[in-house]
């Protein structure tokens, strides 16, 4: 799996962390979920080719603030 670093504004980062916590995901998984959902909608990937992201327990998640 490839790694990509994405720079976010502070308020965007905080919003991503808040949503990830609400949905019990690691923020990296939450960001991947957004990207995987956006690519088919943009017509860049077939809808059936996106990889589902499963919820990860927050305990032990490496969340930097």
Residue 6 has pLDDT above 70, yes or no: yes
- pLDDT at residue 52, rounded to an integer: 61
- pLDDT at residue 60, rounded to an integer: 55
- pLDDT at residue 41, rounded to an integer: 94
- pLDDT at residue 1, rounded to an integer: 82
- C-alpha–C-alpha distance, residues 29 and 37, integer Å: 12
Question: Tens digits of per-residue pLDDT, 10-34?
Answer: 999 999 999 999 999 999 999 999 9
The 3-state secondary structure of the chain reads CCCCCCCCCHHHHHHHHHHHHHCCCCHHHHHHHHHHHHHHHCCCCCHHHCCCCCCCCCCCCCCCC
- C-alpha–C-alpha distance, residues 39 and 36, integer Å: 6
């Amino acid at each position: 799996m490839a790694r990509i670093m994405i720079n976010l504004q502070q308020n965007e980062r905080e919003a991503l962390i808040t949503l990830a916590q609400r949905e019990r995901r690691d923020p990296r998984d939450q960001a991947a979920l957004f990207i995987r959902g956006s690519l088919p909608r943009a017509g860049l990937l077939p809808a059936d080719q996106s990889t589902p992201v499963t919820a990860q327990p927050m305990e032990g998640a490496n969340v930097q603030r």
